[in-house]
Amino acid sequence: MRIAALFSGGKDSNYALFCAQHYGWDVTHLVSVFSTSPESYMYHVPAIELTRLASESIGIPLIEVVTPPGPEAELIPLKDKLKELGIDGIVSGALASEYQRRRLDQICQDIGIKSFAPIWHKDQREYVREMVEEGFEIMITGCYAEGLDGSWLGRILDENALGSLDRLHKKYGISVAGEGGEYESFVSFGPHMSRHVRIEYEKEWKRDSGKIVVSKAWLQ
């Protein structure tokens, strides 16, 4: 089974890729979508430039797709690119968003390939905990929800951070997995990677949300 993994560098796409690799499938490409929109409808923006380093560490070539703004327009270049890859299907990190999954399923249907989502509807809290236990280094790269202040930017999820997210879930109802867009993440290391992605960054905070601005990144 030849598969392309939709890859943002965040935890969900990394774990979907990891699952596909351990299904015994041949993951031939990582596909990252760079939207010219400041607020992408489907793919998160703040850390996407790091995907090139992550791809090198994972050892699977990266295909970069630049899309214009707009929820539907974004999909056209992605569909065109997937059609060229000679793959049987894609794997995505769709977790709970019907919006994201339906659109991916539709473009795959259009071009006659399969659309796999290994973490779809899994228990979000458990899934993030398992990732941390399995050795994934998940860094918070953007915060967009009440309760997540600037101190979360650049934080690596560990037992303490997960406990804090549980408390914030109780208080504000935020998703521990960030599925509601509460936070964005970047996986700087994991069992599927050969080297750590190291990052120097500044924090950029505006009113009640913020993100990291990467000044330097390298493989260690």
Could you list the residues that contact other proteins (CB under 8 A)? 1, 19, 21-26, 89, 114, 116, 130, 133-135, 191
CA angle 104, 105, 106 (to 5 degrees): 90
**Considering beta carbons, is residue 133 or 208 the nearer one to other proteins?**
133
Give the nearest distance from C-beta 95 to other proteins in angstroms: 15
**Considering beta carbons, is residue 24 or 38 the nearer one to other proteins?**
24
Helices (H), 25-135: 51-58, 75-84, 98-111, 124-133
Give the nearest distance from C-beta 91 to other proteins in angstroms: 12
Give the nearest distance from C-beta 26 to other proteins in angstroms: 6
Give the nearest distance from C-beta 204 to other proteins in angstroms: 34
Helix axes 124-133, 11-22, angle to 10 degrees: 70
Cα–Cα distance measured from residue 182 to residue 198, given in angstroms and rounded to the nearest whole number:
24
**Considering beta carbons, is residue 55 or 67 the nearer one to other proteins?**
55
Spatial strand order in the sheet of 137-143: 183-189, 137-143, 209-219, 197-206
**Considering beta carbons, is residue 26 or 80 the nearer one to other proteins?**
26
Residue 79: CA count within 13 A, CB half-sphere: 15
Query: Which pair of tokens denotes residue 36?
Result: 């010219």
**Considering beta carbons, is residue 49 or 134 the nearer one to other proteins?**
134
Give the nearest distance from C-beta 114 to other proteins in angstroms: 5
- Phi and psi, residue 141, nearest 5°: -110, -15
